[in-house]
Amino acid sequence: MPLNPSRSRAKDRSSILGRPEFLSLNVPPQNNKSWRRAGPSKSQQNQSNENPVEPPDEDCMLLNPSFKGIAINSLLAIDICLSKRLGVCVHTSSSWGSVRSAVTLLALTGHGITWICGTLVCLTQSNTAAGQELLINLLIALILDVLTVAGVQKLVRRKGPWDMSPGFLDCVALDTYSFPAAHASRAAMVSKFLLSHLVLAVPLRVLLVLWAVLVGLSRVLLGQHHLTDMACGFALGFLHFALMETVWLSSGACQTLISIGTFSWGSVH
């Protein structure tokens, strides 16, 4: 007796739905009433609305970053890349490792300890009021430069492009971080100071400007500072010079300070 085609198709369908991978299809859908009974209560809905669950920070993605943020990150990346490439005297095995000692000596000519000690020695040997006035103001400018740069470095705490620990003289002069470059700031301030208050020949003036640029660049070659650190150091040095010109101490005030210092030194000894 031939089977009914509709019954055979239904039988085949029921056998297929009976397989384990299709068991979920045999579960009858819940009606609206059972879904409403199983759903959350109004108090729970209000609580969930008041305290929404936020995804963790690592799951969030900034889909529309600002142009300012992109520009700053790009400039920082370029700065780090160029500064690392210019660090050709970081080690003796570097590409310019043979001149590392000469570059270190050049950087030492712009160190704060070198200039403060040299100014004090010149002050003790000076016998004219004009020379003493110039040296006292230079000494105050040097101390201002050291304290200001150290304060900004402690505030920013930027590391150099290369993982190098500061030397002993850098720790004494409070030059332990990268931004801004203390040598560049000091070289810019000293060169501008001497160019403004000393009568120098043109070759000496050119050499003084060249010395300031090379001192700032020497720290980049040694891997201690970024290019932006050097640029901001130069800007800060010119700012220190302008500030010192505003609060310039007269000859009488300088003589008073020298008298107080001489009296204090004599009372100690």
- Which pLDDT belongs to residue 165? 76
Q: Is residue 13 part of a domain?
A: no
More confident residue, 93 or 216: 216
Q: Is residue 4 part of a domain?
A: no
Catalytic residue (choose from 183, 226, 240, 269): 183
Least confident of 50-54, 59-63, 128-132, 196-200: 59-63
Q: Is residue 73 part of a domain?
A: no
Q: Please check the confidence at residue 245 and state whether its pLDDT lies above 90.
A: yes
Q: Is residue 199 part of a domain?
A: yes
Report the distance separating Cα 115 and Cα 138, nearest Å.
9
Catalytic residue (choose from 111, 225, 226, 240): 225
Q: Coil, helix or strand for 85?
A: helix
Q: How far does CA 238 lie from the centroid of its chain?
A: 20
CA distance readout (Å), 206 to 88, 201, 267? 26, 9, 45
Domain count, the chain: 1
More confident residue, 262 or 22: 262
35 pLDDT band, cuts 50/70/90, is very low
Q: What is the mean pLDDT of the chain?
A: 81
Evaluate if pTM is beyond 0.85: no
CB atoms within 10 A of CB 202: 7
Q: Is residue 268 part of a domain?
A: no
Has 225 been annotated as catalytic?
yes
Q: Please check the confidence at residue 57 and state whether its pLDDT lies above 60.
A: no
Q: Please check the confidence at residue 123 and state whether its pLDDT lies above 60.
A: yes
Mean of pLDDT values over 115-122: 94
Q: Is residue 252 part of a domain?
A: yes
The residue ranges of DSSP E strands in the chain, in sequence order, are none
Q: Is residue 50 part of a domain?
A: no
Q: Is residue 207 part of a domain?
A: yes
Find the domain containing 168 and state its range: 98-261
